[in-house]
Amino acid sequence: MDSFVLIAEGDPGQAPQGRYEFRIWPRVWPRAARLVQKSWPLAGADRRSDIYLFTPHSPLRLVKLRGGTQLEAKRRGRDLGPLQYWTHHSYPRFPLSHRALRALAQELGTACLPAEAGLSPAHLVAGLGASAPDVLPVTVGKARLRFQKAGSSLEICHVVSAGQSRRTLAVEDPDPDSALRALDGLGIGHLPNLSYGDALWARTIPVSPTSTPSNRTL
């Protein structure tokens, strides 16, 4: 899971990678969690902390520092039934070029970022308060079990953010038919599909009366 295409400085036309995603945030683990551990082959496990750069646009454009160091972005496309479609790309490593910094500012929905923000992840996060006050960095700790079956990837994840502990289960697949078959087999397709931007942005950023992002209710 979480595979990304590196957009090189010399190849701006390279197409980002897309996949269909379905993520639930159950307060009590559904039967699907037990089914996965019984019938889905375990592909691995990992633990890390990401820094999400949340904005009012996060339900549609989501930016994070993977492991606190690697800058990555996702854009939500056209949904297909219960599935969300996301394209992904990784930025070049720090220090960022002026071109990459302009692209990042666009993703974050801000007019510009100072040149020093591109020096390192620390410079970027430290400078957001003055240059982009609508952007809120939030550290999200993740401990995940990853499973693979018939082309679909699935994760069971324990998430810690803003002092709160949550659980999430997600299916990801570049093939929508395969993803839908996985949802049918697990019996979770009727549940709300909430990305990290949907689920965590609403809990960390004040919502203005005019903000109407979709699928924010948990």
**Can you name the CATH fold of 17-204?**
Hypothetical Protein Pfu-838710-001 (2.40.320)
Residue pair 155/144 in contact (Cβ under 8 Å)? The answer is yes
Domain ranges (residues) in the chain = 17-204
Contact 175, 80 (CB under 8 A): no
Q: What is the pLDDT of residues 86-113, one digit of tens each?
A: 999 889 999 999 999 999 999 999 988 9
- The answer to whether the CB of 121 falls within 8 A of the CB of 68 is yes
Share of residues in the chain with pLDDT > 70 (%): 85
**Both structure tokens of 200:** 């965590």
Checking if the pLDDT of 28 tops 70, the result is yes
Q: With the CA atoms of 84, 87, 92 and 94 taken in that order, what torsion angle do they form, in degrees rounded to the nearest 10?
A: -20
Phi and psi at residue 50, in whole multiples of 5°? -105, 155
pTM of the model: 0.84
- pLDDT, tens only, 136-180: 999 999 999 999 998 999 999 999 998 889 999 999 999 999 999
> Whole-angstrom Cα distance, residue 63 to residue 121?
13
- Please give the pLDDT value at position 1: 58
Q: Select the more confidently predicted residue: 28 or 101.
A: 101
